Structure 1
Amino acid sequence: MTESSYLAAVRESYDTVAADYAAVVKPPADLDPLSRAMLATFAELVRTAGRGPVADLGCGPGKVTSHLADLGLSVLGIDLSPKMIELARRAFPGLHFAVGSMTAPPIRDGELGGILAYYSTHHTPPELLPAVFAGFRRAPGGHLMTAGYVGDDELLRPTRAYGGHPVSYESHLVPPDRIATLLAQAGLVVTARLLQEPDEGTKRTVCTFLATKPEES
């Protein structure tokens, strides 16, 4: 897939499944203790740094965005799917949401204190991850948290999802060591890595990274 075709597939697929996705995806309060703890740690790091707002890239229906706001952050939710943003605005009218891609989010360099990419980078073809991670440098001196499923270069091509709706996106499960390397190559310093093995709650391995972008010299 080219960059434009993969973005179109993601947008169209999530517009199609938006309502059922919002109904079945757990709110952060119902996540496992480690996932909740990592989100809380990220929020504390951003609050302590006393910097600008956080961009929740790939925010979906806004549940995690709202959770970050409850943890005391100023936060903007951004998602490629207009239907997801419509649901997020309806569910959380007091928060800010915008349609946009993590490859070119509607934010200016240096205006953020943090970036969250929560289960939202796996649709990106691996060869485009360096450009996406380079974009995470929009928060100089700020904090990054990214989390998602990982694997041994697995490519998933589901045809239906979330209530049996047709989808055309791909999911790329990249080894966590490569993700760490790509983050470092993008100029980000990885400060923590949490690997959660599959259990009764999930069928796949999950890896969460915390990283910082050093101040510009």
Structure 2
Amino acid sequence: MSDPKTINAYTNNVAEYLKVPLPPEQLTSRQEFADAVGKGHVLDLGSGPGSDSAFFLRQGLSVHALDATPAFVDYARANGVDAHLGTFDDVTEVAAYDGIYASFSLLHAPRKDFPRHLAAIHRALKPQGVFFLGLKLGTGEHRDHLDRYYSYFSQTEIEEALADAGFTIDGIRTGIGEGLAGSYDGFILVLAHA
């Protein structure tokens, strides 16, 4: 994600973002991701202020966090997370991670780039590496009232894109949650492996 308006929206709302509670489904899926990885090195892709990264560190995982918002990276670093400034296009490693966690981050990339990003994630995972993907469900592309750019997908589109990228889906959860913009949106949480 390198959309300046989206980055600016997050920069101006760090404190508010930190107050947004995770829905129960996401808390459960996050723990399942950590359990599935077990031990090893994970990438928190679109890590935000590093809350999930900190959780994974407490679970005994080694974490590399990547986000395009400088204010988020600074906050995460100040709280002990190995956070780096970067975009989805900076995922260029090959067989480097035991797990990749992309929680509501890839939805900020253009729809046309989604297959390319999934392919890069697949390459960056070790064989049988674990992938978590959280997205909002819907259609099209648009900006919310905070001026953040969003791409929406149906569950079928997500399942097909993951299969095309070489992933095997291990579990799917759906739900409805309130985000930073105050809207309630349907979401999907997918646990898969390379």
Structure 1 distance, partners of 2:177, 2:145, is 23
CA drift of 1:202 comes to: 7.0
* Counterpart AA for 1:196: G
Structure 2 distance, partners of 1:198, 1:68, is 22
Q: Deviations over 1:35-87 (max 9, x none)?
A: 2111111111101xx5x410001111111111111222111111001111011
Q: Given the alignment of the two structures, is residue 101 of structure 1 paired with residue 92 of structure 2, yes or no?
A: no
Q: Following TM superposition, where does structure 1 have runs of at least 4 consecutive aligned residues deviating by more than 2 angstroms?
A: 6-22, 31-34
Structure 2 distance, partners of 1:198, 1:12, is 23
**Structure 2, gaps ≥5 residues long:** none
Answer whether contact 1:85 1:97 (CA < 8 A) is retained.
yes
Structure 2 distance, partners of 1:197, 1:159, is 19
Name the residue aligned to 2:17: 21
The residue correspondences of 1:42-121 to structure 2 (distance < 5 A) are 42-47=33-38, 50=39, 52-90=40-78, 92-93=79-80, 95-105=81-91, 108-121=93-106
Q: Given the alignment of the two structures, is residue 170 of structure 1 paired with residue 170 of structure 2, yes or no?
A: no
SS at 2:54's partner residue? helix
Structure with greater Cα Rg: 1
Q: Tell me: CA distance 1:198–1:89, structure 2 relative to 1, closer, same or farther (3 Å).
A: closer
Q: Given the alignment of the two structures, is residue 150 of structure 1 paired with residue 137 of structure 2, yes or no?
A: yes
SS at 2:107's partner residue? coil
* Counterpart AA for 1:109: V
SS at 2:12's partner residue? helix
Answer whether contact 1:43 1:72 (CA < 8 A) is retained.
no
* Higher strand proportion (structure 1 or 2): 2
Q: Given the alignment of the two structures, is residue 205 of structure 1 paired with residue 193 of structure 2, yes or no?
A: no
Structure 2 distance, partners of 1:53, 1:32, is 25
- Please, what is the CA RMSD of the aligned residues? 2.2
Structure 1 distance, partners of 2:108, 2:55, is 23
Answer whether contact 2:137 2:155 (CA < 8 A) is retained.
yes
Structure 1 distance, partners of 2:158, 2:86, is 23
**What is the TM-score with the length of structure 2 in the denominator?**
0.87
Name the residue aligned to 1:38: 29
Q: How many residues align?
A: 189
SS at 2:28's partner residue? helix
Structure 2 distance, partners of 1:174, 1:68, is 27
Name the residue aligned to 1:7: 3
